Structure 1
Amino acid sequence: MRIAQILDKIDSGDIALPEFQRGYVWTRDQVRGFFQSLYRSYPIGGFLTWGTKAESTQTRGGRIDRDGTVNLLLDGQQRVTTLYGVTRGRPPHFFEGNPATLTGLHFNLDTETFEFYAPAKMKDNPLWLDVTSLLRNGLSTYLQAVNQMADGDTEVMSAYIERLNRITQIMEREVHIDEVTGEDKTIDVVVEIFNRVNSGGTKLSKGDLALAAICASWPEARPTMNEALTTWSAAGFDFKLDWLLRNVNVVLTGEAQFSKLSEVGVPAFRTGLKATIDSVDYMLNALGGRLGLDHGRVLGGRGAFPVMSRLLHIHDGRFPDGTTRDRLFYWYVHSFLWGRHTGATETALNQDLQALDDGGVDLLIDVLRRSHGGRLQVSPDDFAGASMGSRFYPLLYMLTRVHGAQDLDSGVPLRDGMLGRLNSLQVHHIFPKARLRAYGYSRAEINAVANFCFLTQDTNLRVGAKNPAEYLPEITMRMPGALESQWIPVEPELWRIENYLEFLAARRELLSYAANDFLDALHNGPAPVDFVSPSRSGLPRTAVEVAEPTSFDDVPGLAALLQEVQEAGFAAPDLDSEVVDPSTGEAIAIATAYWPHGLQEEVGGSVVLAIDTTPAEQAAMEASDYRVFHSADALRRYVRNMRAEHAST
């Protein structure tokens, strides 16, 4: 079948995308490389469709409103979407992804290369032609311009016209289509076929299939969920669709397995989804107000949310009292500190849900305590982790917020929503990185959580890279109590660079005391008498921005690497992020940069840039199938190889 016919069949609804297909994941490099292959007449592979009854089929973008059969695309989504988007100048109706990936493709008549629009290179340069315009309007609209560029040279003009013709003839290219048909081809059989032919990508999860079944009867399910995810993202919290679906599943069934959703009818799902979205809004407000966890970087323990959503569902969407709320938050904080839900998700969730149903929050806490050796206490050594990726970084932020820690220069309690251009919160290294590095301390020691505190931007600029032995005495004189409010040791001998490790040990002691005091108060109560139920009407705030130090000046080549990753259209990494053992949830190492879903979302395995690792950490990451790099340059070469592969596709 000709490519032009395939695109026409998408417009008519004869070819569609099955609901279980994931979104568009190609990068601009892959789009450019694909068109280069088409231009050179390289093989681009065939397509695989599933012929099924239109009236009983739910497709991405809505049900097909006609009789007869429809061909659902099982293999070739990325190629077909690319062809449609570049040719039509807009994505197809079933598109889920970044539309910018498909816009602005240009072709150079002299070099015969495809690139995306770059003003500095292409503006006012007639040799760069818009591919979409050429495919939509045809060769004839460019003949006059080609004649002017050839400037009377018939050989050049002939070459230009031949090149443009090769592009327009892409639409006439024949592509082979295999079709899966037959009464025996049930959805389960087709999904098995899909997973086999898409062996290079991410397999469909149970959540994908559960959502596909729901969307078959209620097409608005996915858009409704995506709208909620967008709202939370605007408020500073980025969640995945599977995460929301897990919350809905638990609210409706009381169990973690997605297979349980097959027993839930559409009316119940619609009601449960709305209740779950309201509960997440309510919970985020409560966590921000009670614990100060007001943005995504400090929101640990997302895997615990289904349990908390279930509790709210049991109590008609609200906390019954302040004691229940505080004890639930006691459980929540300890659950993310000890990685309760980062391993075998369904197993841990089912244990917790059973405990919640059998004995409420108290039994929930007992189960967690038994799983952690019978004791829930924070020790000084727990604050020995390094960087913002440590689980104890959110705890430090939480303590700063709930105790009203003071800004070191102004003495004003640090809180969200502080007014003024220079009053946003920033992470500050008490001992400046440059001075510690010059003295010979390791990167892990420099970026220890116990070396962090939070300041306003104005104070951070004033302090800069001063020696603690110089600026801390001044703060002690000007703002009595400010150091103590941030659990900074007040003994002057600990402020000297040579005593840095002793300073860290002393501050870890202070932080552990503060953490246990607060967490014990959550558990033992009494709850504050001014307990007010958070609003259920949604998130009233905008995202809280906490500027955090990057690793750019610690890791040579990191800035250039991240720039190249961005230009390639690959996923943005988590910086200074904890890498865990997927089977146990135990922390393995702190990565400088971490791509949990691969450099290209949903394609390939997890990628880790870890500069300082022990042999044990290296072995653990390799055993967990992480692809590990130890320098930005090594990972940059890998990125370039991937880009080259995409360009030659």
Structure 2
Amino acid sequence: MSDLSIRNIIERVTSGRLRIPSFQRGFVWDAERVAFLMDSIYKGYPFGAAILWRTKEQLKSERQLGPFELPEHDPDLPIDYVLDGQQRLTSIFGVFQSDIEPREVAPWTKIFFDLGAQSDLQESQFHCLTADKVDPERHFPVSTFFNVPAYRQATKDFDDALADRIGGVQAVFQQASIPVQLVETDDRAKVAIVFERVNRMGMELDILQLLSAWTWSEDFDLQEKFEEFAEELRPFGFHGVGDDSNLLLRCCAAIVNGDVSPGALVELNGGEVRDRFTEMVNGIKGAIDFLRANIGVATLANLPYPALLVPLSVFFAAPDGKEVKVTKAQSRVLLSWFWRSCFSRRFSAGVIRNLNRDVEEAEKLRTGKGSNLDAITAEVEPAYFSDQTFNVSTVHTKIFVLLLAQGGPLSFVSGSPISLGKVLQAYNRNEFHHLYPQKYLKDQGRTTSEIGALANFVFLSSADNKTLGAVAPSLYRSRMDDQAVPKILEHAFCPAALFDDDFDEFMAKRSQVLAQKAKELMGL
């Protein structure tokens, strides 16, 4: 731990040595907070240490210091980038410096010491004032404390007592120091970890911003590219993919390096990221097309685990102008892997390890090198569907919904096909209802968990649910198209025992049917 005086801060900024990396947020303090900081420094109250990253290599993308554009630095000298304390350092520099004109209006820099205020441990003696609010006999501009000519001009009419008093205030700031922790390294992975830990209780680390800072070029900004890609995906219901920067970065790292660990993300080669960006975009688009066409996934919200996109994007990654053609054998492996990953909850734990293994096997499958991608142990018992309750936000419900979609469900009233694309894009509770109506089961004394079990749900619109009514299945059967009933049940993976009004027997049989269907999808 070392200290920086206010004069040191001014000199380092004006010489270009103290800089702001682009992965930091901008200056956000208001005038009241800046004035409050001045009061804390004056009264000797703790106001936190700054953390600086010292490196020999200047980042290609930087942020200006609040409204101040930073000057060029001497390439022979190291650079100190601010990892923590930007708001405090910017405030101190902005208030006391007099060499750099702000690029925009910065009223918060106009801080005055209130000569008329009583000394108070709690109340601030420093205020930010506009020109029309300044009383020259009461408000002294602290901006003059490090500017000798300006200070002399501001105090030239003071009597000895007043000059001594303001001189004492000036001395406090001239002698004040800011605690500094210095991280001296050219290892960017270490910088990412430090930044993450510093901001864990505040702003979450955004690895995209970190990576953007050292992959940027005049014609390539990674953040902008991701934003453009998000908009491109919007019409297809997958705008959420483009908004998930960590998911996109994992896809990128998987394609470029075959490794999705945090360390691998920040070690990505900027030039290779730029050169292979189109390949990554094609890989994600191919993965989305495959999920839409073969599983019925209509939006990112349908995916039990967004991480499923990563190995798929590796398989479908192709340079611009080329396309990965999937053979029937490859498609079977991909589908088996998808369902086994879902039912084994593969990406609930050990995500990085499992992703790296699957990324490697997906690459082998694409290149015909003998892949074990779907060699994943997975078991599904009927209890999976009878013991877990329906909630559209949970993983097991998303898996269940996608399983039901494989049957090509029909309307329980008319027997006409359900437009799954629209239903799954909307993806809300109103499109799914109980086979044994909720009120009917409550009247029988059934518990909430029994009523809400997965096996008691089906694709059923609110309109069809109202038509069928809150009566026993044997009664609402008459409201269904009689000739279509066998097909309706078949497409819903639902046994005819539904209409026997024996809830326990029905749940046992339907759970068995669903478990068998899950095993078929997994290739078991």
TM-score by length of 1: 0.52
Asked if residue 343 in structure 1 is aligned to residue 349 in structure 2, the reply is yes
Q: Pick from 268, 271, 275 the counterpart of residue 272 of structure 2.
A: 268
Partner of residue 327, structure 1: 333
Kindly name which structure, 1 or 2, has the bigger radius of gyration based on alpha carbons: 2
| Percentage identity across paired residues of the two chains | 20
Partner of residue 240, structure 2: 238
1:453 shift after superposition: 1.0
8 Å CA contact 1:62, 1:219 repeated in 2 = no
Q: Distance in 2 between matches of 1:186 and 1:367?
A: 34
Partner of residue 457, structure 2: 452
Asked if residue 313 in structure 1 is aligned to residue 304 in structure 2, the reply is no
User: After alignment, is 185-194 or 297-306 more displaced?
Assistant: 185-194
Q: Pick from 439, 448, 453 the counterpart of residue 443 of structure 1.
A: 448
Pairwise CA RMSD:
5.1
Q: Distance in 2 between matches of 1:485 and 1:477?
A: 15
Paired residue type of 2:338: Y
1:407 shift after superposition: 0.9
SS in 2 for 1:50: strand
Q: From the superposition, tell whether residues 217 and 411 of structure 1 become closer, same or farther in structure 2 (CA, over 3 Å).
A: same
* Higher RCO, 1 vs 2 (CA within 8 Å, ≥6 residues apart): 1
Paired residue type of 1:404: G
1:441 shift after superposition: 2.8
Paired residue type of 2:302: V
Partner of residue 299, structure 1: 303
1:511 shift after superposition: 2.0
8 Å CA contact 1:58, 1:215 repeated in 2 = yes
8 Å CA contact 2:497, 2:505 repeated in 1 = no
Q: From the superposition, tell whether residues 414 and 362 of structure 1 become closer, same or farther in structure 2 (CA, over 3 Å).
A: farther
Q: From the superposition, tell whether residues 191 and 254 of structure 1 become closer, same or farther in structure 2 (CA, over 3 Å).
A: closer
Paired residue type of 2:413: D
8 Å CA contact 2:397, 2:454 repeated in 1 = yes
Partner of residue 222, structure 1: 223
SS in 1 for 2:276: helix
8 Å CA contact 2:249, 2:265 repeated in 1 = no
Matches within 5 A, 1:379-398: 379-384=381-386, 385-388=388-391, 389=393, 391-398=395-402
Matches within 5 A, 1:584-623: none
8 Å CA contact 2:468, 2:479 repeated in 1 = no
Q: Distance in 2 between matches of 1:199 and 1:393?
A: 31
Q: Structure 1 unaligned segments of length 5 or more: list them.
A: 84-91, 94-133, 142-173, 524-649
Partner of residue 146, structure 2: none
Q: Pick from 490, 497, 501 the counterpart of residue 484 of structure 1.
A: 490
Q: From the superposition, tell whether residues 35 and 179 of structure 1 become closer, same or farther in structure 2 (CA, over 3 Å).
A: closer
**Residues 339-381 of structure 1: CA distance to partner in whole angstroms, max 9, x if unpaired?**
2233222322232334345566999874643x41xxx564423
1:245 shift after superposition: 0.8
Q: From the superposition, tell whether residues 53 and 409 of structure 1 become closer, same or farther in structure 2 (CA, over 3 Å).
A: same
8 Å CA contact 1:50, 1:73 repeated in 2 = yes
Partner of residue 170, structure 2: none
Asked if residue 511 in structure 1 is aligned to residue 514 in structure 2, the reply is yes
8 Å CA contact 2:53, 2:191 repeated in 1 = no
Partner of residue 109, structure 2: none
1:220 shift after superposition: 0.6
Q: From the superposition, tell whether residues 279 and 468 of structure 1 become closer, same or farther in structure 2 (CA, over 3 Å).
A: same
Q: Distance in 1 between matches of 2:53 and 2:216?
A: 19
8 Å CA contact 2:212, 2:221 repeated in 1 = no
8 Å CA contact 1:428, 1:453 repeated in 2 = yes
Matches within 5 A, 1:164-313: 177-179=178-180, 194=195, 197-198=198-199, 200-201=201-202, 212-215=213-216, 220-229=221-230, 231-232=232-233, 235-236=237-238, 238-239=240-241, 240-260=244-264, 265-313=269-317
Q: From the superposition, tell whether residues 53 and 255 of structure 1 become closer, same or farther in structure 2 (CA, over 3 Å).
A: closer
SS in 2 for 1:431: coil
Aligned residue pairs total 423
Paired residue type of 1:318: V
**Residues 582-621 of structure 1: CA distance to partner in whole angstroms, max 9, x if unpaired?**
xxxxxxxxxxxxxxxxxxxxxxxxxxxxxxxxxxxxxxxx
Asked if residue 75 in structure 1 is aligned to residue 84 in structure 2, the reply is yes
Q: Distance in 1 between matches of 2:278 and 2:64?
A: 21
Q: Distance in 2 between matches of 1:364 and 1:62?
A: 52
**Residues 209-234 of structure 1: CA distance to partner in whole angstroms, max 9, x if unpaired?**
55554348986112222433455467
Q: From the superposition, tell whether residues 75 and 411 of structure 1 become closer, same or farther in structure 2 (CA, over 3 Å).
A: same
Matches within 5 A, 1:525-540: none
Paired residue type of 1:344: G
Partner of residue 159, structure 1: none
**Residues 237-291 of structure 1: CA distance to partner in whole angstroms, max 9, x if unpaired?**
5342121111111111233345446775433212322221222122212211221
Q: Distance in 2 between matches of 1:345 and 1:176?
A: 45
SS in 2 for 1:68: coil
TM-score by length of 2: 0.63
8 Å CA contact 2:60, 2:215 repeated in 1 = no
